[in-house]
Amino acid sequence: MEQRISLITLGVADVARATAFYKRMGWKPAESPPEITFFQAGGSIFSLYGREALAVDAGVATETSDKSASVVLAFNARSKEEVDAVLAEARDAGAEITKPAEDTFWGGYSGCFADPDGHLWEIAWNPHFAILENGSIRLPE
Amino acid sequence: MEQRISLITLGVADVARATAFYKRMGWKPAESPPEITFFQAGGSIFSLYGREALAVDAGVATETSDKSASVVLAFNARSKEEVDAVLAEARDAGAEITKPAEDTFWGGYSGCFADPDGHLWEIAWNPHFAILENGSIRLPE
């Protein structure tokens, strides 16, 4: 696993309200569908997404959980094979795989794990977001 | 507020255990005191810090709260004046100031706010971490 964080996603109660707050802070969102807002933040991406949807995507919206997720960090890999390799590395390092890797509805491939404190990571291959040589990630212009 | 995230800090139960996990994932920590671990992560810094200490620093360890914080994002400003300006901007945008800006024991100046969903941000001036022209932040070599 390269030592970088591609996305920081905050789980929010209302994406429009949260987006309005960050716009008041001077942040400019990229073109985004209504259910998620993406901001280019230096070499990473900052995003706002519904807490319940975030929990479903991370594989932690079970019968016994509170069905919401507060924050998910993402590492975007350069290939599907790298996604599998990083998830295997995480499992071997003691992480709990919360969602095995699978093809996603948005045309990518991703899986998720929880670190020993329950912090969630998505390991993703996303053909829509460019990863530069130095590991920076870029939203489409 | 420039559109970037300087630090992503995870609140953990045991810094040594959490650090060991990320080392098993192949991450190399910078020289860090035992109570906090810093990793250079692209143009940002990833850090692991005790959940209770993180809550105290963010000003949310009150009698009524659970006295722990899960994640704090930080924006490192280029001056103390910029810290004050960003916190004022946040307050005007509807954030709750959880810790007014003050000089810190580590020789910096910082304050914290909670966004409308309760996500915590520290706005800091830290003379020990260089901020490059493009907004990237660098741990000391």
CATH number for the domain including B132? 3.10.180.10
Tens-place pLDDT, residues B16-69: 999 999 999 999 999 989 999 999 999 999 999 999 999 999 998 876 666 678
pLDDT reading at A66 higher than 70 = no
Residue of chain B whose alpha carbon sits nearest to that of A95: B21
**Mean pLDDT, range B73-86, rounded to an integer:** 97
**Mean pLDDT, range B75-79, rounded to an integer:** 97
Contact check, Cβ <8 Å, A43/B42: yes
Please tell me which residue, B65 or A130, carries the higher pLDDT value. Answer: A130
| B1 belongs to a structural domain | no
Measured from the Cβ of residue A124, the count of other Cβ atoms closer than 10 Å reads 23
B119 by DSSP, 3-state: which? coil
Name the pTM for this structure. 0.94
Which residues of chain B lie closer than 8 angstroms to A51, CB-CB? 117
| A66 belongs to a structural domain | yes
**Mean pLDDT, range A13-30, rounded to an integer:** 97
| A1 belongs to a structural domain | no
Our count of domains for chain A comes to 1
> What is the nearest CA distance from B89 to chain A, expressed in angstroms?
6
| A2 belongs to a structural domain | no
Q: What is the DSSP string of B8-72?
A: EEEEES-HHHHHHHHHHTT--PPS--TTEEEEEETTEEEEEEEHHHHHHHHT---SSS-S--SEE
From the list A4, A8, A92, the residue facing B73 with the nearest CB is A8
Measured from the Cβ of residue B114, the count of other Cβ atoms closer than 10 Å reads 18
From the list B5, B94, B116, the residue facing A8 with the nearest CB is B5
pLDDT reading at A63 higher than 80 = no
Helices and strands per DSSP (H, E), number in chain A: 3, 9
Query: If pLDDT is split at 50, 70 and 90, which confidence band does A80 have?
Result: very high
| B58 belongs to a structural domain | yes
**Mean pLDDT, chain B, as a whole number?**
94
What ipTM did this prediction achieve? 0.93
pLDDT reading at A68 higher than 90 = no
Beta pairing class for B120-125 and B71-76: parallel
From the list B41, B119, B134, the residue facing A3 with the nearest CB is B41
Residue A26's domain comprises 7-138
Half-sphere exposure of B46 (CA within 13 A, CB side): 24
The reported pLDDT for the residue numbered B62 is 72
Tens-place pLDDT, residues A46-60: 999 999 999 999 998
| Helix intervals (H) in chain A | 15-24, 51-58, 80-92
| B97 belongs to a structural domain | yes
Which residues of chain B lie closer than 8 angstroms to A39, CB-CB? 3
Contact check, Cβ <8 Å, A3/B27: yes
